[in-house]
Amino acid sequence: MDEVIRQACTGTSPNDVVLSVRELPPHYRGKVALISLRFKPAFVSLLVAFGKAFSDLGLKVEFVLDSAYVEFAELSRVAPIVVYSKTASAGSYTHGIFFNVSVHNQRLASSLKNEGARIAYVYHEPWQLSFSHLKSEGIRGSFTSLLAHQASIGMLKVADTIILPSRYGGLIYGQGDIRHNPRVFYIPLLFDDEGGDALLQGLDGKRYFSYMGAICRAHGFDQYLSFMRHSFRRNLGLKFMIASALPLPAYVMKDNLIQSNLDKITIQCGRPLQNDEINKCYAASFCVWNLYRRSTQSAVLPKAFMFGTPVIANRTGAFPEFIKDGYSGRFASANDDLGIESALEDIRQNLARYSNNCRDTFLNTFFYRSNLKLLEKLLEQRY
């Protein structure tokens, strides 16, 4: 197991071949399918980044996607989109990379593998069954996670390589799912640099302490609301933003204190946001909530850093790998309202420094161009 964890942490394998992909003639470099058969808006940025990365490495790229992704024009600007159909031909690919859980994954992966493609599975949330998991997710969330894990087991078995996005993920994987597939490879979640004009607007537009992404217990949404109430009671002058594809729970608007402070809250919930809409939310935030009860690797974190936005987080999961306290964010306890208040004040007073550090972290860690050598090694692996 130690060797597997070493591979997960370094992206190397005893079976790596020496020949570089970029040394091969273009017609030998192959064709990669980037596959997401269950729609999740947060995966648009990941797909775009991986598409650009493999194009830079000289491969032909196609997206094989759930039909809901067609509305996102940034994908079609990178590579052709093939809408997945159970009755359609699998196509001819040298590599197939699957990005999230779907009940259709194993069928397509097996078909591609039978035609000679190498299969990789980006395993975003390695399974960990524990009392702490039940406590963080609740009964309903834990049951949903269990179903997702059952759908992943087939992919773990059929894949040639399991891609893990954090060293913490490698440790969790080594405690359980390693029995399904010991062939692991570490690559952080990759993104293109989508900052654009938003980065030219400076810090004046960063007004919100924001909650981004799934509204759920695991991400501490109830604790975010608790701090919001604390802020209103103490007249801290903070503005809040909630941005999620999920609908805002009805109980939020029934809270009298929240009702009387709606002028301090911006809500964008209940529909999948286009990527440029999501990016505007990050650009308008001076800090983003990452005080999660459970997380393996948050996709919110790199997006925040992309826009020079620090986070406030706890030491759960992979956060300590990517956040330096007092540099790119602050660590705090979700139950310590005064501690959060103090951390936010520090960030506001030193926002220029934090923002520059976040950008540096993004460019050196999550920007796809900083990880091309790792992707080469992924393509060159043979088992």
pLDDT in tens, 35-89: 999 998 889 999 999 999 999 999 999 999 999 999 999 999 999 999 998 655 5
91, 62 contact by CB (below 8 A):
yes
From the number of C-beta atoms within 10 Å of its C-beta (0-12, 13-18, 19+), residue 191 rates as buried
Mean pLDDT for 250-259 is 96
Judge if 336 and 224 occupy the same domain.
Answer: yes
Q: How far apart are CA 192 and CA 367, in angstroms?
A: 6
Give how many domains the chain has, as a whole number: 2
Judge if 163 and 286 occupy the same domain.
Answer: no
Q: How far apart are CA 265 and CA 268, in angstroms?
A: 10
Query: ∠ CA(55), CA(212), CA(63), 5° rounding?
Result: 25
Judge if 131 and 56 occupy the same domain.
Answer: yes
CATH of the domain at 237: 3.40.50.2000
Per residue in 199-225, pLDDT (tens digit) is 767 798 999 999 999 999 989 999 999
Judge if 167 and 218 occupy the same domain.
Answer: no
Q: What is the pTM of this model?
A: 0.86
Judge if 91 and 226 occupy the same domain.
Answer: no
Q: Which structural domain range is residue 119 located in? A: 2-192+368-380
Residue 144: pLDDT band by 50, 70, 90 thresholds? low
Judge if 319 and 238 occupy the same domain.
Answer: yes
Judge if 117 and 242 occupy the same domain.
Answer: no
Q: How far apart are CA 30 and CA 115, in angstroms?
A: 13
Q: How far apart are CA 47 and CA 24, in angstroms?
A: 24
Judge if 166 and 202 occupy the same domain.
Answer: no
Judge if 291 and 349 occupy the same domain.
Answer: yes
292, 218 contact by CB (below 8 A):
yes
More confident residue, 271 or 127: 271
- Return the bridge partners of 36, or none: 65
Nearest to 97 by CA among 169, 49, 28: 49
Looking only at the bridges linking them, the beta strands covering 95-98 and 184-186 are unpaired
Judge if 175 and 239 occupy the same domain.
Answer: no
Residue 103: pLDDT band by 50, 70, 90 thresholds? confident
